[in-house]
Structure 1
Amino acid sequence: MKWHHVQENWSAFYEAITDKWPEVDEADLDEIDGDQRAFIAYLAEATGQEVAEIREELREWLRGEIPSDIVMDPIHDNHSIALSSKYVNEGEDEYDDDAHFGDDRDE
């Protein structure tokens, strides 16, 4: 993903940010409002790491996929579904409808 994805959907990334950096506070994220420089400086202060280390961590984090609950795009969704196939049991189709997941009724 690119930083503009994060910046455009800033508050939607709070969960992903706090998963990666549990030291952050959502109230502080509100003040940062997607400003990358401010975010890097904040992370350095919150984690006690050097700015260069934080920049590298952020680059690595941005190499990941955009969380599927942030971008509603059929192409992106299908790509995310395909990537999830490694978590689906053999013989099951990752594209199957989950509407009846856990429903043991006969079909």
Structure 2
Amino acid sequence: MNWNQIEGNWEQFKGKVQARWGHLTGDDLDVIAGNQKQLVGKIQERYGVAEEHARREVDDWLERP
């Protein structure tokens, strides 16, 4: 899966993102609107992790089927 697919079908992926990162709210997901940098930033904010850690989590999630 690549980010262009997620960005183009954000409404379908919101549930999967929220299932993976449960601390993200529906409002967070609306603000993110498929933007990868916004997702990384919100993960940082909600989970108190470094940007590199959040980015790695997103990359790992993208690689999973």
CA distance in 2, matches of 1:45, 1:11: 22
The normalised TM-score by structure 2 is: 0.91
TM-score, scaled relative to structure 1: 0.58
| Equivalent residue number for residue 48 of structure 1 | 48
- 1-side partners of 2:61 and 2:29: how far apart? 17
Note the residue ranges of structure 2 that are not aligned, 5 or more in a row.
none
Structure showing the higher helix proportion among its residues: 2
C-alpha contact (below 8 Å) 1:11/1:30 kept by paired residues: no
Share of identical aligned residues, percent? 28
Q: Choose 1 or 2 for highest CA Rg.
A: 1
Structure 1 consecutive aligned stretches of length 4 or more whose deviation exceeds 2 Å: none
User: Between Structure 1 and Structure 2, how many residues are aligned?
Assistant: 65
RMSD: 0.9
Q: Which runs of 5+ in 1 are unaligned?
A: 66-107
Q: Compute the displacement of 1:57 (Å).
A: 0.6
Ranked by relative contact order (alpha carbons within 8 Å, sequence separation 6 or more), the top structure is 2
